[in-house]
């Protein structure tokens, strides 16, 4: 590795990628590797610093995950976090035991030494603790640099050897001055220049893709969403015409969306790639005819999507690689495994086992959404694509309650278009996680021009959320809502009533189905 790199050794903690992300926020390149990657590989990588993550084990318990002790003699600065700090203490002759009082949550930490890791940090600072074991006694050549009421060694260091340890988690937001500590480590202690940027990620990833793909053929399922678009452009830049993007228009996209995606990725767009748009609307509408149950709709849309995709893959023939736009939160969510299925998310990124590919390429696997957006901007993808709100794989199919028909799709597309237009005109889209119109299955009596109407009610939804697992109903200004309602009933045939959804998630969900 010629560029400055810090590596994170993963001991099974929850925040491993978050640590890497925080280091990247210091403009230092960072990768996560398994704890047992081995000294020779670490030497080859020649990192400027190493960070040990937390983990669920006890250093003295059976099945403790341990690295080679010689790692401390490499002359590379090491920061141990939580389990990582205990491991450092344990391997170097300190004492780790079960803490008489476990600390969990925001805890006041008193800094005893500001000379190095804690330079610029307040004397008393709130940190996030989450531990049942603790370091009772630091190894002989270490100095204790912080403590709490319950924890005699909240931090320790041996500056001569470049070894640092903190019991708390500097990487989480609840540790108020955590970024200062991490910056002290990577910039001051490891001596990184901090000149890495997302464009370096783009460059190196393009090179890595070229090395991997060689002369092979690559296929990408493009939805027009941020993740698959960024993945596609990375691939296009790396291997050009060896890439084919298949964009399936299932007739459940937002108004004009198919054409917008084609304008960017199609033959008149800026990228040199093979682009196939499959207009499969009729096919999807036929399969969905008469189906009202949300999960069944999802399954039909997902399944049909795969069928269309497979047919196209067969036509192209001998495809070696499949590109997926998986990003880091997808990796965590799919890893959870045991939670109840509320909705079976069909993501066009999560494509088949069904088609035979030699390998799957997931260039965005280690990035968070906002990092993907940064990479997208670096790649020159238009801002309106990069900053799009999320759109579910089954599209309007789950925003039309009950049976899906072409007519209902037209209604919800037009209503949604007006809603989005007025939100943009009023400039109130900042801070909104997602906002859209849905078509309820309710018809009600109205009166228009002295005539009785019996038409559909459109529901408007807007939520503020950062993780999409929970969401608050957004307070859209009344004048904006009333303008939207007015325009929808006047301009969208078949609608005579507009409702605003004021529920949060939970107990509701963001989408209607
Ligand atoms: P819910 O409705 O579960 O939505 O609160 C949370 C987030 O997930 C999106 N969503 C989906 N995305 N396939 C997807 O790819 C789906 O079936 C699906 N259902 C919901 C939703 O738009 C929101 O961002």
Which residue ranges make up each domain of the chain?
Answer: 5-189, 201-386, 399-501
Q: Does domain 5-189 have CATH number 3.40.50.880?
A: yes
Report the residue among 250, 300, 345, 393 best suited for mutation to probe ligand 1: largest number of ligand atoms under 8 A from its CB. 345
Instruction: Indicate whether 339 pLDDT > 70.
Output: no
225 versus 405: the higher-pLDDT residue is 405
pLDDT tens by residue, 152-185:
999 999 999 999 999 999 999 899 999 999 999 9
Pocket flag, ligand 1, residue 346 (CB < 6 Å): yes
Q: What is the pLDDT of residue 447?
A: 94
Query: Distance between CA 171 and CA 128 in Å, rounded?
Result: 9
Query: Distance between CA 17 and CA 14 in Å, rounded?
Result: 8
Instruction: Indicate whether 194 pLDDT > 70.
Output: yes
Confidence of residue 351 (pLDDT cuts 50, 70, 90): low
How large is the average pLDDT for residues 500-512? 95
Instruction: Indicate whether 289 pLDDT > 80.
Output: yes
Average pLDDT, the chain: 91
Topology of domain 399-501 in CATH is GMP Synthetase; Chain A, domain 3 (3.30.300)
Confidence of residue 337 (pLDDT cuts 50, 70, 90): very low
pLDDT tens by residue, 51-73:
999 998 899 988 899 999 999 99
How large is the average pLDDT for residues 454-462? 98
Q: What is the pLDDT of residue 2?
A: 63
Residue recorded with tokens 């599209």: 395
Catalytic positions, written as ranges: 82, 169, 171
Q: What is the pLDDT of residue 430?
A: 86
**What's the 51 CA to ligand 1 centre distance in angstroms?**
35
Confidence of residue 414 (pLDDT cuts 50, 70, 90): very high
How large is the average pLDDT for residues 373-388? 91
Instruction: Indicate whether 340 pLDDT > 80.
Output: no
Pocket flag, ligand 1, residue 505 (CB < 6 Å): yes
Q: What is the pLDDT of residue 431?
A: 87
Instruction: Indicate whether 338 pLDDT > 70.
Output: no
Q: Residues 218, 323: contact at Cβ < 8 Å?
A: yes
**What's the 438 CA to ligand 1 centre distance in angstroms?**
14
Q: Residues 53, 8: contact at Cβ < 8 Å?
A: yes
Pocket flag, ligand 1, residue 137 (CB < 6 Å): no
How large is the average pLDDT for residues 231-249? 96
Length of the chain counted residue by residue: 513
- The reported pTM is 0.76
Q: Does domain 201-386 have CATH number 3.40.50.620?
A: yes
Report the residue among 294, 301, 329, 343 best suited for mutation to probe ligand 1: largest number of ligand atoms under 8 A from its CB. 343
Report the residue among 225, 392, 462, 472 best suited for mutation to probe ligand 1: largest number of ligand atoms under 8 A from its CB. 392
Q: Which helix (H) or strand (E) holds 221?
A: strand 218-221
User: Which strand ranges, in their side-by-side order, compose the sheet holding 49-52?
Assistant: 29-34, 5-10, 49-52, 78-81, 163-166, 155-158, 143-147, 95-111, 124-137
Confidence of residue 326 (pLDDT cuts 50, 70, 90): confident
Instruction: Indicate whether 382 pLDDT > 70.
Output: yes
pLDDT tens by residue, 74-129:
999 999 999 999 999 999 999 999 999 889 999 999 999 999 999 999 999 999 99
Q: What is the pLDDT of residue 348?
A: 44
How large is the average pLDDT for residues 346-357? 52
How large is the average pLDDT for residues 415-426? 97
* Nearest CA owner, ligand 1 atom 22: 392
Closest ligand 1 atom to Cα of 512: 2
Pocket flag, ligand 1, residue 345 (CB < 6 Å): yes
**What's the 247 CA to ligand 1 centre distance in angstroms?**
20
Pocket flag, ligand 1, residue 390 (CB < 6 Å): yes
**What's the 388 CA to ligand 1 centre distance in angstroms?**
15
Q: Which residues pair with 500 in a beta bridge?
A: 460
Confidence of residue 198 (pLDDT cuts 50, 70, 90): confident
* Nearest CA owner, ligand 1 atom 10: 392
Pocket flag, ligand 1, residue 298 (CB < 6 Å): yes
467 versus 74: the higher-pLDDT residue is 74
Q: What is the pLDDT of residue 350?
A: 47
* Nearest CA owner, ligand 1 atom 6: 468
**What's the 343 CA to ligand 1 centre distance in angstroms?**
8
Query: Which of 126-135, 197-206, 396-405 is predicted least confidently?
Result: 197-206
The two structure tokens encoding residue 43: 């030497």
Q: Do domains 5-189 and 399-501 have the same CATH topology?
A: no
Q: What is the pLDDT of residue 498?
A: 98
Pocket flag, ligand 1, residue 468 (CB < 6 Å): yes
């Amino acid at each position: 590795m010629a560029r400055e790199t810090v590596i994170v050794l993963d001991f099974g903690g929850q925040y491993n990628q978050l640590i890497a992300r925080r280091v990247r926020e210091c403009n230092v390149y960072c990768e996560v590797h398994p704890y047992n990657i081995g000294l020779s590989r670490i030497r080859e990588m020649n990192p400027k610093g190493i960070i040990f993550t937390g983990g669920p084990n006890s250093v003295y318990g059976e099945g403790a995950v341990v690295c080679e002790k010689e790692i401390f003699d490499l002359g590379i600065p090491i920061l141990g976090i939580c389990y990582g700090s205990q491991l450092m203490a344990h391997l170097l002759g300190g004492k780790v035991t079960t803490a008489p009082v476990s600390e969990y949550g925001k805890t006041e930490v008193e800094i005893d030494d500001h000379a190095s890791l804690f330079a610029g940090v307040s004397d008393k600072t709130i940190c996030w603790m989450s531990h049942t074991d603790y370091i009772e006694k630091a190894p002989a050549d270490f100095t204790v640099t912080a403590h709490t009421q319950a924890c005699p060694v909240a931090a320790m260091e041996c500056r001569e050897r470049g070894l640092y340890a903190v019991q708390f988690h500097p990487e989480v937001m609840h540790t108020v001055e955590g970024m200062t500590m991490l910056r002290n480590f990577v910039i001051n202690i490891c001596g990184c220049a901090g000149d890495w940027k997302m464009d370096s990620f783009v460059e190196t990833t393009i090179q890595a893709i070229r090395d991997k793909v060689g002369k092979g053929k690559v296929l990408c399922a493009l939805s027009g969403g941020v993740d698959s678009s960024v993945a596609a452009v990375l691939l296009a830049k790396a291997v050009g015409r060896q890439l084919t993007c298949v964009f399936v228009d299932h007739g459940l996209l937002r108004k004009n969306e198919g054409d917008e995606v084609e304008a960017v990725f199609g033959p008149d767009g800026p990228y040199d790639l093979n682009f196939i748009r499959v207009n499969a609307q009729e096919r999807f509408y036929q399969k969905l005819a008469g189906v009202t149950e949300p999960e069944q709709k999802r399954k039909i849309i997902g399944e049909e999507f795969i069928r269309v995709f497979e047919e196209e893959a067969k036509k192209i023939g001998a495809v070696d690689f499949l590109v997926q736009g998986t990003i880091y939160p997808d990796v965590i969510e799919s890893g959870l495994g045991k939670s109840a299925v509320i909705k079976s998310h069909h993501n066009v990124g999560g494509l088949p086992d069904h088609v035979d590919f030699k390998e799957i390429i997931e260039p965005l696997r280690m990035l968070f959404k906002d990092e993907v957006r940064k990479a997208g901007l670096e790649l020159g993808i238009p801002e309106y694509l990069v900053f799009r709100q999320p759109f579910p794989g089954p599209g309007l199919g789950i925003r039309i309650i009950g049976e899906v028909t072409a007519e209902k799709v037209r209604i919800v597309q037009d209503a949604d278009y007006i809603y989005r237009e007025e939100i943009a005109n009023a400039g109130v889209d900042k801070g909104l996680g997602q906002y859209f119109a849905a078509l309820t299955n309710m018809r009600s009596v109205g009166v228009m021009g002295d005539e009785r109407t019996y038409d559909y009610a459109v529901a408007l939804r807007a939520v503020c959320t950062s993780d999409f697992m929970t969401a608050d109903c957004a307070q859209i200004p009344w004048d904006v809502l009333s303008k939207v309602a007015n325009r929808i009933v006047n301009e969208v045939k078949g609608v005579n009533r507009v409702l605003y959804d004021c529920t949060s998630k939970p107990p509701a969900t963001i989408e209607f189905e």
